[in-house]
Structure 1
């Protein structure tokens, strides 16, 4: 609830208070008889404030007013207060401007990170140094105007205190800012080791700064320990705290730095010591963070690469096409599941050498090794899709369309180029192409015959009418014969269209009742005027199928019963419907001419007709349509003749309606 009420105005006010407190702390470090402070933490607060704000003008005005008023209020001369304020404004603006140009990925400069790499630390330190140098020039001018003299110690002290103030306060503040707004990095050590570190640090600083021996360097390893084992934020806080202790005890006249005669120089050396502690902690911490980031990125990249490799492997194995890698020696170095299954079904049983496999041309002749797609690809770079016949162990043959490409890099580094073979099993397609070619040939022949007949009768009728003694009755008879040919041609085209629809049209399954007065069988019997049609149905007689296609099956079978009826006996047709689980079995029997046993398989082929049917006009497509429709509904169809070759019974099954 408190966080939800916090706004930018609250943060602005907080920075204003922190800056005012920092100015007062800095003014508290002014030595007796002096006007310049030995430490200036307000410089770091000012940089953080300007980096955070979206209203830089308001921040700079507030900074100037606070610093000028508080400096005058604490005893500074108006001239020094004015020049110090101008120096602070220039320094703060320049530091932030250079940071945003040199370190654009940090918080406050357009990014979300803090000090976690050595380049960021070095560029950030250089930005601070440039700004502090500019501020030192303006501030030193103020000292010169105030005192009438200026020494290198004054310039160095001004630059040093500003540099330390920005580096210590801004570094710790920036890392704190990141810690409050970004996910934390997990330290290598836990709370017990952290407590041990602080206890050891307290003991070490007590020993070092209660004696006058110059052994302050002995505490530097503590900063290294903290930076190696804990976060950069913890290391910066540890170094800043240690430096603050050093500055305070030195100002109190205790410790090795208090032996320096000039207090200003002692303060400068103390701040330099603090800066060394901080930079040591930041360098070690940022290098460690950078290493962890690089290692983490490598781990993520490796995991991503492994995941992509697994995905590619899964994709390759899921492909219906076969993928095979063959090296220059003809060895199969890699194959996906589809390829392995096919190669395992040959007499070579998955051998790793391509020479172990028998390969044939489409005409059945052996394929020379020089024409193997892998060898051609390695020599030519790429081959066009080529049909190759692969005999299997069970005696069947598969027709493969193979395309090969040379890959410059092998399966392992330094193994040389390999050939990638991509094959597709086109056995069914090639067989269908042959059937289509045969279909086109037979169709052209069957269409040409009635067309030739029609042309002949029409020509004769034309000649009759154009003669010297035309006979209209004879011409009429010739035209009637031509019309009969046209009718036959139309029937052939209609049945070819039925075949095409049965083979390729989309099926729309729906419940269809077969038996009963309103059933599909009785409806067709009435349309075909079958005088003696009997329908027997046991159990449910409702099938689930495409109405147009199922109707075509019954129309063809019942129509054939009428067409091929024996003229020596009355036609009788019997339809028996029997439910068997998820299927419904149908038998259509007649007492017609029958089908010879040797023709009972071939009558379902296109344009195939039995011998007894030769005397009756027909196309030989109707039963092929029946088989296509039944098979597309998941069933089979067969036929048999009755006793002594009298009549024919067609048996097929269709899917039953599923209740619910």
Structure 2
């Protein structure tokens, strides 16, 4: 702070202190030379508290000493008594500045834009500082006066203490709370107002309440101090202060306490009101100051506590809105459920994950209502719902559930995490439920597992062929024809193993990458698959399947995925064949009339067929049409086929074999427009990445 600014502040506070001191000296009690009220104590606290960080504090001390000495001598005090009052005021002001710097630095600072007293904790600290600093001044002032004139009684010391405490609290609070808006108005006095003022922005009902409090205060104080003679009745006026403190702004409460406290003191000085009947001037002053102090403390305590409550409520609402926004924006379903199956909180994502099913009456419905199943497809009992198990005392790891209902007929796999909340809300325990959709993750995992299963199966086929024909070679070393046929089969099996290993490497390194369409020779592809299936059946001693295909049209597609598609469909056709029946698989192609530029591929078998009404459902995730027939599987094979076809822009469906028993699976793939690749081995339709690059 610069010297001119500090000096200007010193001059301003000196002027205020001079006026306040002069007014206080007009209320000197007879024979004691002590004032009934002392507003100068409040100005002194505000002065020294604001200037405590100034480098030129000696100017403030000098100005205070000169003013105190001059005014006291001019109003009838002796020079010695005036010197005592100078020492007492300096002690009180310095003590206040030191304590404020330690206990309340945020409330009284040197800057013009410092915060005001806005918390109840700050107010009580200010009251404590006022008591301690006034006590420090009382130890010097009344004691010195008693030593000089021997007329000071204990009541007078109590008056000194009480008047200074009340003055410090009222003046400091009023100065700091109302000073900032006054300075703001002064700085902007030449700026046109852009909106309605504080009064006009209030609702009409609130304006009427302000007017009612003012009218009630004027009437009540006039009746009480103009005509009342009963001491306890005066303190009944605190009811109006309570009304204002609970309902109206803190600034209004401060002004109300200041104005009507002054009214009570003026009536008492003029001999009116219940306090004027007290014969002892010291006791009269003490009671009057206690009344003003009580009104101030009650009003400010209520107003500041209400402000804190409103501010806390506003922050909580803001945090609640933020939390609500976060919860509603996340893709994971989140809910808080009580032990009576009621929802405390739930976000839109949980409704979406449950297939769009709304919850009637904000209560958790039965598991059958939502269509909840274990991953193996068995229904979940209500008692086994994750939140019910937590309420029963179990410590659960994440639980997987299958959701299948009218909203998500294809099914959805979710992982459910649960946690018991500490404590109780409305007397009930609550569990937090978090639901995460892992359908795509599980689909990727199961696609890889399915592909690995296909590859493992097809790797076992050539291995069995190699083993079987190697043994045959050992037994037929003398037969050249048998040797040639066996070696040919072994070479074909080893070539197929290499191709499958290459495909597995490509798939595991790029299964989520974009499609890599290429010219796919379906004729060669089906021939290769058929040869592998026949070789495996012969070496395993099983019924050798019969394949019928000829002149298959080529298509454009990702070679790895097209092979997996054909392997899955042909493998299913062989797998789901009745006992004692020779599997017969017919593969045909023709231009699709419904989709220009598409080739329709049909695979027809003579197997056990698909139960009626399930021809569409078999392409859903985890659907198994023959659960009780003893056939193993995950229910994902045809779902993976559907995904492969749809990634190529085609469609797939299943129907009964029109020529008899069995099933026909029909799908479309893009007709071939890409040039055929140069052969790189026995299967020219296949992309052949190098082993080193695949690694």
Same fold flag (TM > 0.5): yes
* Structure 1 gap segments, 5+ residues each: 1-5, 345-349, 464-477, 513-519, 525-548, 558-574, 589-593, 600-624, 639-648
Q: Which residue of 2 aligns with 1:585?
A: 597
User: Partners of 2:404 and 2:220 in 1: how far apart?
Assistant: 86
Of stretches 101-110 and 16-25 in structure 1, the one that deviates more from structure 2 is: 101-110
1:137 aligned to which of 136, 139, 156 = 139
User: Partners of 1:326 and 1:174 in 2: how far apart?
Assistant: 49
Q: Which residue of 2 aligns with 1:445?
A: 460
SS at structure 2 position matched to 1:89? helix
TM-score by length of 1: 0.57
Structure 1 residue 144: Cα displacement: 4.2
User: Partners of 2:389 and 2:397 in 1: how far apart?
Assistant: 10
CA change 1:355–1:204 in 2 (3 A) is: closer
Pairwise mapping of residues 482-501 of structure 1 onto structure 2 (< 5 A)? 491=499, 493-497=501-505
SS at structure 2 position matched to 1:504? coil
Pairwise mapping of residues 229-268 of structure 1 onto structure 2 (< 5 A)? 229=244, 230-248=248-266, 266=281
CA change 1:270–1:201 in 2 (3 A) is: farther
Pairwise mapping of residues 198-237 of structure 1 onto structure 2 (< 5 A)? 198=214, 214=229, 220-222=235-237, 224-229=239-244, 230-237=248-255
* Structure 2 gap segments, 5+ residues each: 185-196, 359-363, 478-485, 522-554, 564-589, 607-639, 654-665, 674-695
Cα displacement string for residues 37-96 of structure 1 (whole angstroms, at most 9, x for unaligned residues)? 44432210111123333525644x344322321233342544333322221122123234
User: Partners of 2:37 and 2:469 in 1: how far apart?
Assistant: 118
Q: Which residue of 2 aligns with 1:337?
A: 351
CA change 1:226–1:246 in 2 (3 A) is: closer
Q: Which residue of 2 aligns with 1:24?
A: 22
CA change 1:54–1:140 in 2 (3 A) is: closer
User: Partners of 1:289 and 1:234 in 2: how far apart?
Assistant: 12
Larger relative contact order, structure 1 or 2 (CA cutoff 8 Å, min sep 6) = 2
Q: Which residue of 2 aligns with 1:14?
A: 12
Structure 1 residue 482: Cα displacement: 9.8
Structure 1 residue 231: Cα displacement: 3.5
- Does structure 2 retain, via aligned residues, the 8 Å contact 1:585–1:653? yes
CA change 1:57–1:184 in 2 (3 A) is: farther
Cα displacement string for residues 514-562 of structure 1 (whole angstroms, at most 9, x for unaligned residues)? xxxxxx99xx9xxxxxxxxxxxxxxxxxxxxxxxx968669x99xxxxx
User: Partners of 1:446 and 1:377 in 2: how far apart?
Assistant: 49
Structure 1 residue 125: Cα displacement: 3.3
- Does structure 2 retain, via aligned residues, the 8 Å contact 1:224–1:281? no
Cα displacement string for residues 84-122 of structure 1 (whole angstroms, at most 9, x for unaligned residues)? 2221122123234445666677455999453764x6655
- Does structure 1 retain, via aligned residues, the 8 Å contact 2:46–2:175? yes
User: Partners of 2:206 and 2:269 in 1: how far apart?
Assistant: 35
Q: Which residue of 1 aligns with 2:87?
A: 86
Structure 1 residue 174: Cα displacement: 3.6
CA change 1:100–1:429 in 2 (3 A) is: same
1:170 aligned to which of 169, 172, 176 = 172
- Does structure 2 retain, via aligned residues, the 8 Å contact 1:80–1:142? yes
Structure 1 residue 158: Cα displacement: 3.3
User: Partners of 1:391 and 1:577 in 2: how far apart?
Assistant: 33
- Does structure 1 retain, via aligned residues, the 8 Å contact 2:24–2:38? yes
- Does structure 2 retain, via aligned residues, the 8 Å contact 1:29–1:38? yes
User: Partners of 1:415 and 1:166 in 2: how far apart?
Assistant: 50
SS at structure 1 position matched to 2:24? helix
2:46 aligned to which of 39, 45, 48 = 48
Q: CA RMSD in A?
A: 6.6
Pairwise mapping of residues 609-648 of structure 1 onto structure 2 (< 5 A)? 631-636=646-651
Q: Which residue of 1 aligns with 2:669?
A: 652
User: Partners of 1:377 and 1:153 in 2: how far apart?
Assistant: 70
Of stretches 279-288 and 405-414 in structure 1, the one that deviates more from structure 2 is: 405-414
1:381 equivalent to 2:397? Answer no
- Does structure 2 retain, via aligned residues, the 8 Å contact 1:360–1:366? yes
Structure 1 residue 283: Cα displacement: 0.5
Of stretches 173-182 and 132-141 in structure 1, the one that deviates more from structure 2 is: 173-182
SS at structure 2 position matched to 1:17? helix
Of stretches 129-138 and 266-275 in structure 1, the one that deviates more from structure 2 is: 266-275
1:286 equivalent to 2:284? Answer no
- Does structure 1 retain, via aligned residues, the 8 Å contact 2:416–2:435? yes
- Does structure 1 retain, via aligned residues, the 8 Å contact 2:241–2:295? no
Structure 1 residue 178: Cα displacement: 6.4
- Does structure 2 retain, via aligned residues, the 8 Å contact 1:46–1:63? no
Pairwise mapping of residues 28-39 of structure 1 onto structure 2 (< 5 A)? 28-30=26-28, 36-39=34-37
Cα displacement string for residues 588-621 of structure 1 (whole angstroms, at most 9, x for unaligned residues)? 9xxxxx998659xxxxxxxxxxxxxxxxxxxxxx
Q: Which residue of 1 aligns with 2:366?
A: 352
CA change 1:425–1:343 in 2 (3 A) is: farther
- Does structure 1 retain, via aligned residues, the 8 Å contact 2:170–2:296? no
User: Partners of 1:430 and 1:596 in 2: how far apart?
Assistant: 27
User: Partners of 1:177 and 1:626 in 2: how far apart?
Assistant: 78
- Does structure 1 retain, via aligned residues, the 8 Å contact 2:142–2:157? yes
1:114 equivalent to 2:127? Answer no
User: Partners of 2:209 and 2:386 in 1: how far apart?
Assistant: 67
TM-score by length of 2: 0.55
CA change 1:275–1:62 in 2 (3 A) is: farther
Tell which structure's C-alpha radius of gyration is larger.
1
- Does structure 2 retain, via aligned residues, the 8 Å contact 1:72–1:81? yes
